[in-house]
Chains A and B, each alone.
Chain A
Amino acid sequence: AQSVTQPDIHITVSEGASLELRCNYSYGATPYLFWYVQSPGQGLQLLLKYFSGDTLVQGIKGFEAEFKRSQSSFNLRKPSVHWSDAAEYFCAVDPNTGFQKLVFGTGTRLLVSP
């Protein structure tokens, strides 16, 4: 079945440490790929997206993600985490519908320790 998997429900990272959040998808063709973040009391905010081309995508707030076709992965990274990055992160795909009919993963909650 077509799906998006975020294997980590919770992750705790020390402030200043690097971060990698995992996302795998199972679709026959390469879908459009997204990462969203939801901070407490806020809506979902788009961090970055991948459609085609360069497999390393830069986003807002210092985040980047790398698309690896061979692994069907789109992992999110940040070299140095700030306390304000504590939030829930969602990987999502649009299986080429072109209409933002997104399929989301279950989310990863990031906790940042001092």
Chain B
Amino acid sequence: EAGVTQFPSHSVIEKGQTVTLRCDPISGHDNLYWYRRVMGKEIKFLLHFVKESKQDESGMPNNRFLAERTGGTYSTLKVQPAELEDSGVYFCASSLRAGGLMNTEAFFGQGTRLTVV
């Protein structure tokens, strides 16, 4: 079974450009999460989807970030326009269902390293 897959693995863009990151969760996982790690700092929660709905987007830094989850399957995270401070590693995770944590281990992708120059 395929794990959580993220595309691209690396992206280098200029300040002011737009970048779209993609995450394909494990098939059948209703919950999808985005996290970000800025260089040298902790991994921070961005948002959480349950199927196609945003359950919690309290971690989104500002309105330059837009996340979508079409049909409750894959998700995209768009940054427009990108700024230097957006550089970091963006992780996606998915879990089978929420509640009853014994069965809701979050599986993480390998991350997308975004560099804004």
Contact = CB atoms under 8 A, between A and B. Distances in A.
Interface of B: 3-4, 31, 33, 35, 40-45, 48, 55-56, 91, 93, 95, 98-102, 104-111
Interface in A26-65: 32, 36, 41-46, 49, 51
Contacts of B55: 99
Given A42-B110, A43-B91, A101 B56 contact: yes
Contacts of B101: 32, 49, 51, 94, 98, 100
Interface stretch (A12-20, A74-82, A103-111): A103-111
A86 interface: no
A107 B93 CA distance: 18
What 3 pairs between A and B have smallest CB-CB spacing? Answer: A44-B108, A104-B43, A43-B108
Contact of A100 (B4, B43, B106): B106
